[in-house]
Amino acid sequence: MDATNTTTASTTQTSIPDSVSPYQAFWYWLKLGFISFGGPAGQISIMHHDLVEKKRWISEKRFLHALNYCMVLPGPEAQQLATYIGWLMHRTWGGIIAGVLFVLPSFFILVSLAYIYMAYGSVPAVAGVLYGIKPAVVAIVLFAAYRIGSRALKNKVLWSIAALAFIAIFALKVPFPIIVLIAGVIGHFGGKLTPQYFKVGGGHGAADKDYGRALIDDDTPTPEHAFFSWKKMAKIAAIGLAIWSVFMSYLVLRYGWSNAFTQMGWFFTKAALMTFGGAYAVLPYVYQGAVEHYHWLNPTQMIDGLALGETTPGPLIMVVTFVGFVGGWVTQVFGPDAVFASAFVASAIVTFFTFLPSFIFIFMGAPFIETTHGNLKFTAPLSAITAAVVGVIFNLALFFAYHVFWPTGLNGNIDWFSILLTVAATIAVFRFKVNVIPVILVSGLVGMIWQLTM
């Protein structure tokens, strides 16, 4: 009886899943857009759990290989990873649908919250919910960093790279692109001298052992649409540049170069090309431009927008949607009788120009990356970069904790209630494996009750 059950379980685990239709993929990517809390670490963790462990649409090695590429690109790596997997499964339109649905729910949620924020001021109930969610986000990011680290850091060398990356960004304030470059160089030479330390997945077939075979497995041949050619890469680059030029030219011709809409398109194109290392790496640049140079919003509004971005689904860089909405509200491009229309169009412009480069980079580079997933010469630098990024993510978790526990700075009072809520959320996700959504909902409810009864 036991032997039969064991055989059945083994057969179930190693069986290849049925094909995934575009319809099934559409609904998954839409669902992901609503549940992708916790920043890039949490979003990548959710995708790994769903696509690698549960659905087995893609093997862990192929997943991590795609992730390594997305990590070195400017832009939100989790959204780019969704675009990459959608493209690999269902060609260009699959990638577009996956990438768009990853951010679309967040866009409308942030626009709604920004409208409430601007039209009605500080709502106590909403402020309380945000207050309660922040400690939960600290716990979720810590847990996600732990999960990604436990998979990516397979040996002492990769652990050392992660530790050095953390020290570099936390103590020495080394820019993230330099950390990526150094890690890539270490991986390049390390892959030649000690290749056993730089194999994706540790080289022990962990993915097959743990999750069974996948629809896109380690040995699955590259699909026809994913073959690389320089001609195809040049064609995609030309199409992407043409799309950008058409929209930017329309803004210049319709509104003029100095108009807020046009300046937002130009400024956030530049910001999108500087988002190495995630949203926090580019936020100082956005702050300097949007607050100090263009005066689209004030410092307090920027901080509030960041809080909303932290606590809504989608990539944290979606905070630019809030920036665009407030900027459009203030500049009133369509006049004082159409304030909301100005704000909505501005937020759409900002979001479009921020994410357009991400799609171009994926469709240009993914075919080349697919040709390298079995080649250690290419995977070793990317494995080292992933290890470095684990250290950077841990630094991000500490950044969250600092601003949540000491909201007015180290010289101010400690927020003991937030610490207790973080501990409770940490126990829930680490010890009891509670899903992200219930943790966020309960924490927001507790925070609202605490704020309204104090």
pLDDT in tens, the chain (454 residues): 444 444 444 334 445 667 889 999 999 999 999 888 766 767 888 898 889 888 889 988 889 888 878 877 778 888 999 999 999 999 999 999 999 999 999 999 999 989 988 887 567 887 788 788 888 878 877 886 787 677 778 899 999 999 999 999 888 888 766 887 898 899 989 988 998 888 754 433 334 445 778 888 888 888 888 888 999 999 999 999 999 999 999 999 999 999 999 999 999 998 888 765 556 556 767 888 898 889 999 877 887 787 677 668 888 788 899 999 999 999 999 999 999 999 999 999 999 999 999 999 999 999 988 877 666 666 688 788 878 878 877 887 787 788 789 888 778 889 999 999 999 999 998 888 887 778 878 988 999 999 888 7
pLDDT of residue 232: 92
pLDDT of residue 261: 97
- Surface-to-core class of residue 139, CB atoms within 10 Å of its CB (0-12 exposed, 13-18 middle, 19+ buried): buried
| Sequence-separated (6 or more) residues with CB below 8 Å from residue 381 | 183, 184, 185, 187, 188, 191
pLDDT of residue 44: 85
The alpha carbon torsion through 127, 78, 87, 20 (nearest 10 deg) reads -70
| Sequence-separated (6 or more) residues with CB below 8 Å from residue 339 | 329, 332
pLDDT of residue 202: 40
Q: How remote is the C-alpha of 7 from its chain's centroid?
A: 39
Question: For residue 269, what are its two tokens?
Answer: 């194109």
Tell me the helices (H) and strands (E) count for the chain, helix number first. 18, 0
pTM strictly above 0.95: no
Dihedrals φ, ψ of 216, to 5°? -105, 95
Residue 424 and residue 265: Cα distance in Å, rounded?
42
Location of structure tokens 């609202």: 448
3-state secondary structure of 195: helix
pLDDT of residue 131: 84
Question: What residues form DSSP beta bridges with 58?
Answer: 216
pLDDT of residue 362: 94
- Tell me the torsion sign for CA atoms 195, 196, 198, 200: positive
- Measured distance between the N- and C-terminal CA atoms of the chain, rounded to whole angstroms: 60
pLDDT of residue 349: 97
Delimit the domains of the chain by residue range.
Answer: 20-216+229-454
